[in-house]
Amino acid sequence: MLAWVDQYNNGIIILLNDEEELLFVSKSVERILAYNVADLIGMHWNDIISPEDVKRYIVRDSEMNQIFNVNVLHKNGKYIWTECTVEKMEDQTTSKNYYMLSLVDITDRKDAEELMIRSEKMSVAGQLAAGIAHEIRNPLTSLKGFLQLLQAGVPRKETYYDIMIDEIDKMETITSELLFISKPLTDQRKQESVSEMIEDVVILLEPQANLNNIVILFNPVNDVNIYCDRSQIKQVLINLLKNAIEAMDEAGMIKIEIHPSDESINIKVIDEGPGVPEDLIHKLGEPFFTTKKTGTGLGIMITRQILEQHHAKLEIANNELKGSTFQINFPI
């Protein structure tokens, strides 16, 4: 059987014991990762995956046939993305556990996903431009007026200075959040404040909401944190809040709520739009499927992919009276 694996398998097959030591590695590792098989036998699983993945994935805690993405170290010192399938096996005679891992190189798929994400992010930036330009033009008008007053020698300079600094701070906040969109997504996870991430996104999207006479209502909840990559989850929140704004043809309100529990932290984005037809809800997230007149359909697809990597889920439901609720469930 092992000889067949070496000859016909396109990925890498690894056998681990309960201490996560490598007992067997298929010969395909020489082609994919450039290691000699003999060099890997006896090494620990944690020695060949990225430090971030060491914190996230413990093989012996895996469920049956679990699948996850993991960065594996190439002999040249660089990490490559792989899709890892874990199957737990028990030796009936010794009661010892073993773990069969199948690693498939998904670098090309990850590159394609990153390209789609960057395309969608630039599309979002362009669509937000009108609202942001309006939001920045108002402070600039104020600054110009106060400078003209100062040139004319009007007193109360200190008061004017304070107002001008406030206006500059406002523009700086908006532009820094806009610049965030153009940056590539990272994969650096740590404990992050849910309220702070939502507040950052509200600052960015409030100008667009104001242009459409939409009020964004959010009451921060203190000490609610999740283990995540900040840039990725902010991208998810941007996608959901932007969709909610664009779904509303009339003035109204969008509520963002945080509901922590013992098992999960749930974030709800509740709009007052027309809702999503029940027979189409399951199609949201398919590439290029959208219910909007102008849209790519990539926003929800990217959102689902990011949440899947965080072991979180997106639920979509229509409200009782009007509008939709997009709910993210982060497990604790």
CATH topology of domain 2-105: Beta-Lactamase (3.30.450)
State residue 289's pLDDT score: 45
State residue 296's pLDDT score: 47
Tokens 């959010």: give the residue.
218
Instruction: Give this prediction's pTM.
Output: 0.54
Structure tokens at 63: 């469920």
Nearest to 177 by CA among 218, 235, 254, 248: 235
Contact 117, 182 (CB under 8 A): no
Rounded to whole angstroms, the Cα distance separating 177 from 125 reads: 10
Rounded to whole angstroms, the Cα distance separating 12 from 17 reads: 17
Q: To 10 degrees, the CA torsion angle through 228, 20, 105, 80?
A: 60
State residue 207's pLDDT score: 82
Q: How far apart are the first and last CA of the chain?
A: 40
Structure tokens at 176: 């820094």
State residue 117's pLDDT score: 67
Q: Which residues of the chain does CATH 3.30.450.20 include?
A: 2-105
Within 8 A by CB and 6+ apart from 122, the residues are 181, 182
What class has domain 110-331?
A: alpha beta
Q: What are phi and psi of 272, to 5 degrees?
A: -120, 35
The per-residue DSSP string of 187-241 comes to --EEEEEHHHHHHHHHHHHHHHHHHTTEEEEE---TT-EEEEEHHHHHHHHHHHH
State residue 164's pLDDT score: 82
Q: Which residues of the chain does CATH 3.30.565.10 include?
A: 110-331
State residue 61's pLDDT score: 62
Residues of the chain with pLDDT under 70: 1-10, 55-58, 60-65, 116-132, 134-135, 156, 173-174, 176-186, 277-299
The per-residue DSSP string of 305-332 comes to HHHHHTT-EEEEEE-SSSSEEEEEEEE-
- Residue 21's DSSP bridge partners are 44
